[in-house]
């Protein structure tokens, strides 16, 4: 293996830390928005609505703990990438929006419809809520994927560093 390939490969791997740190932050932020707005302020649902209110509150607490762990882990990875001078804001924004959209779409499809852990809201016509919820997720995810494609394309055009 030549010296130049030894330099390029680790840099490529370390650059990905920008993406995954921001992805974790995006997932955690969207989980936090969901929890604060829909679980606490509006009181529309809990993470798990299939049991008592106490179980619902416990499930919200567990979601909150997971969200905080993801947020802290994301910021540690981001700080490490900055310390190594490998952080790329362009790649970070791509990961952030992808994380936002991935959480929103996962929640709207898997948690709401497949696992039926909860619905957006109860005692209303669900279709408009489901469409708005998942459309928001699709827009955020599409934004992240476009930014990811642009970052990869720009990096490929720039050649090895």
Q: Cβ of 61: how many Cβ atoms within 10 Å? A: 13
Outline where the chain has alpha helix (H). Answer: 3-33, 53-83, 89-106, 126-158
Instruction: Give the pLDDT band (50/70/90) at residue 160.
Output: low
Q: Measure the CA–CA gap between 34 and 11, rounded to whole angstroms.
A: 35
Q: Measure the CA–CA gap between 95 and 24, rounded to whole angstroms.
A: 8
**Of 88, 120, 109, 98, which Cα lies nearest the Cα of 30?**
98
Q: Which long-range contacts (CB under 8 A, 24 or more apart) does 52-61 make?
A: 59/117, 60/35
pLDDT, position 23: 96
pLDDT, position 3: 45
Question: Is the sign of the CA dihedral 119, 123, 128, 129 positive or negative?
Answer: negative
The per-residue pLDDT for range 15-70, each reduced to its tens digit, is: 588 999 999 999 999 999 999 999 999 999 889 988 899 999 999 999 999 999 99
The per-residue pLDDT for range 67-109, each reduced to its tens digit, is: 999 999 999 999 999 999 989 999 999 999 999 999 999 999 9
How much is the pTM?
A: 0.85
Residue 11 has pLDDT above 50, yes or no: no
Question: Is the sign of the CA dihedral 145, 150, 151, 157 positive or negative?
Answer: positive
Q: Measure the CA–CA gap between 38 and 14, rounded to whole angstroms.
A: 36
């Amino acid at each position: 293996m030549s010296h130049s390939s030894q330099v390029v490969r680790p840099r490529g791997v370390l650059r990905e830390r920008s993406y995954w740190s921001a992805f974790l932050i995006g997932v955690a932020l969207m989980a936090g928005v969901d929890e604060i707005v829909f679980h606490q302020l509006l009181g529309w649902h809990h993470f798990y609505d299939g049991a008592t209110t106490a179980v619902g509150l416990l499930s919200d607490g567990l979601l909150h703990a997971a969200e905080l762990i993801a947020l802290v882990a994301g910021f540690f990875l981001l700080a490490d990438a900055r310390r190594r001078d490998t952080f790329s804001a362009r790649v970070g924004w791509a990961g952030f929006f992808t994380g936002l959209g991935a959480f929103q779409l996962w929640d709207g499809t898997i948690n709401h419809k497949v696992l039926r852990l909860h619905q957006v809201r109860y005692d209303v016509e669900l279709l408009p809520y489901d469409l708005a919820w998942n459309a928001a997720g699709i827009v955020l995810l599409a934004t992240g994927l476009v930014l990811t494609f642009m970052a990869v394309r720009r990096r490929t055009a720039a050649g090895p560093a």
